[in-house]
Chains A and B, each alone.
Chain A
Amino acid sequence: MSESRAVAAANRLPVLKTHKVYVGGKFPRSESGRFDRALAPDGTPIANVCRCSRKDVRDAVTAARAAQAGWAARTAYNRGQILYRIAEMLEGRSAQFEALLAAGGATPEAAAAQVRAATDRLVHYAGWTDKYGQVFSTVNPVASSHFNFSILEPTGVVGVLAPESPLLGLVSATAPAIAGGNTTVVLVTGSQPLPAVTFGEVLNSSDVPGGVVNILTGRREEMLAPLAAHRDVDALVLCTADPDVARSAEIEAVHNLKRVAVRPHEDWANVQSPYEITDLQEVKTTWHPIGS
């Protein structure tokens, strides 16, 4: 009996999941219909992932732009609640993420530590949403009869080249952008895309409005240049240690004078700071006339 079961299992064709991308709160396939295989460290295929094209980038930017005003208009407190909700959902699925990271070659201990750190990072930025404005806005001394103050406003649509670090790096690069009221288009181009696309499923069940985070998988050389040149993208976060990649993206970014932040970290364990939020903010200064 058990022997025949073992034979049946050996004869069975494996079902490889095709991980779809996350755009505008939905999970479409790439418009190109192309896919790549995600491989385990020993080279065995473990899943299929979409190989997105520049048109997918375009669609994702459209979704991010459509969501931006609404997301920025949420109260800071509500954005914090939603970021905390992402952390809750991630915690609830920690076993799945640990398994995905282990399949990518991490030791069980390192995988568990990375999932914990990613969850804590979300909580960290959830806390900052209604505080960075108080800390970094200023009342400015001026030599005239004006009340002069500077406040922070989100830059807009932020393009993120996600780092190789499959979960912690992705969360560390994306959370400060959305905490500050921006919407994001995240390009996942590393060798381990599965935790990132699965993180899209977490986002989708976390009260995050559709379009606030859009996750595309594929190849950097196909997607980064169109995203960096896109005139409707206001800022870039380039998580790469390769200065040539950062440089070529920065050159594309001059078309509409994008804000560019380069994050060359390999170890993301300590990359958490409110300045990661303010890097993606614009300062608005108001002169308000007052009596002498």
Chain B
Amino acid sequence: MEPHAQTADSGPQAAPFASPSIDAVGVEERVARLCSRSIKKEAKLQALHLALSMIDLTTLEGADSEGKVRQLCAKALQLHAALPDLPHVAAVCVYPALVGVAKRALEGSGIHVASVATSFPAGQAPLEIKLLEVKRAVEAGADEVDMVISRGRFLAGDLAYTADEIASVKEACGDAHLKVILETGELGALDAIRRASDLAMRSGADFIKTSTGKIKPAATMPVVLVMLEAIRDHYLRTGQRIGMKPAGGISTAKDAIRHLVMVRETLGQDWLDPDLYRFGASSLANDVLRQIVKQRSGIYQSFDDFSM
């Protein structure tokens, strides 16, 4: 490993620090190799079940209502009536104003309620307001908070501000888990994504997350690989296991399995767990269900057979 990667490593105050630079061509090639793995039959079914248990069922629209959130929670509680033995999804992810509704609907199910906060998706609000939003979400019952970093400040080179912001939000979260959204589609080069990942992990993130889902490109494979490698290096340095959540753009079971292969090959078996890996997605669950039914029945399924 490059010697400079070892240097600054003493908590959030350590920024600015040096992250290793990323070989973009090498990342592409590694991804292409991992995508060529063939996962079939029993292994595929197992991967599909695992993927299902890692989904954060998400609705983040301006038009979200209590009814829409209750409907989504009903879906989380019963993914497909014909298959009662399925695992449940990891969490339901909503806006702060709807956390209470989701919390009541999911009472006692073991499904977490996640809330985006900190002026999602742009993050362009004063810090006090962001912190208040986080506190309100946690008071309403959010088990997990998905924050966005201030990309404007980060891209302008104000790493200290970004680190402080993440640390303050972490403090406001209390016991709730903190996922830090880097919004990789706005960060540009893989080097910046690696730097942001390192920064977020050193500043108190429990999870790092690619995107809000509002910007394209979102969770592309190369971006996720770079973040996974950052998590691996962080673990090797500190022994801390940080979770990963790709979000946006993963809509097919095939994509999900490719992601799982990449996680397994980069971080190992431990990360194949909803506590350390999540998919942020709204339409992925139905495609995974479709594939599970196909795998069990041998018949290709229609989306018409699955609830919204």
Give complex CA distance A237, B305 in Å. 23
Which of A119-127, A215-223, A226-234 lies at the interface?
A226-234
Give complex CA distance A152, B198 in Å. 60
Q: Is B38 an interface residue (CB 8 A)?
A: no
Total count of chain B residues near the partner, CB < 8 A? 8
Q: What would be 6 A-B contacts, judged by CB atoms less than 8 Å apart?
A: A58-B300, A61-B300, A229-B299, A231-B299, A231-B302, A232-B301
Spell out A's residues near B (CB within 8 Å): 58, 61, 226, 229-232, 255-256
B303 touches which of A58, A226, A232, A256 (Cβ 8 Å): A232
Q: Which residues of A sit under 8 angstroms from B304, Cβ to Cβ? A: 231-232
B300 touches A229 (CB 8 A): yes
Mask for B267-308, Cβ within 8 A of A = 1, else 0? 000000000000000000000000000000011111111000
A232 touches B302 (CB 8 A): yes
Q: Select from chain B the residue with minimum beta-carbon distance to A227.
A: B300
Give complex CA distance A37, B298 in Å. 30
Q: Select from chain B the residue with minimum beta-carbon distance to A58.
A: B300
Whole-angstrom distance from the CB of B280 to the nearest CB of chain A?
A: 24
A255 touches B299 (CB 8 A): yes
A256 touches B300 (CB 8 A): no
B303 touches A230 (CB 8 A): no
Residue of A61, A226, A229, A232 with most chain B CB atoms under a 10 A cut-off:
A232
Q: Which residues of A sit under 8 angstroms from B301, Cβ to Cβ? A: 231-232
Q: Which residues of A sit under 8 angstroms from B300, Cβ to Cβ? A: 58, 61, 226, 229-232
Q: Which residues of A sit under 8 angstroms from B298, Cβ to Cβ? A: 229
Give complex CA distance A61, B301 in Å. 11
Q: Which residues of B sit under 8 angstroms from A58, Cβ to Cβ? A: 300
Q: Select from chain B the residue with minimum beta-carbon distance to A234.
A: B302
Q: Select from chain B the residue with minimum beta-carbon distance to A55.
A: B300
Give complex CA distance A35, B72 in Å. 46
Give complex CA distance A61, B302 in Å. 10
Whole-angstrom distance from the CB of B292 to the nearest CB of chain A?
A: 14
Q: Which residues of B sit under 8 angstroms from A232, Cβ to Cβ? A: 300-304
Whole-angstrom distance from the CB of A65 to the nearest CB of chain B?
A: 8
Residue of B300, B301, B305 with most chain A CB atoms under a 10 A cut-off:
B300
Give complex CA distance A226, B298 in Å. 9
Q: Which residues of B sit under 8 angstroms from A226, Cβ to Cβ? A: 300
Give complex CA distance A61, B304 in Å. 14
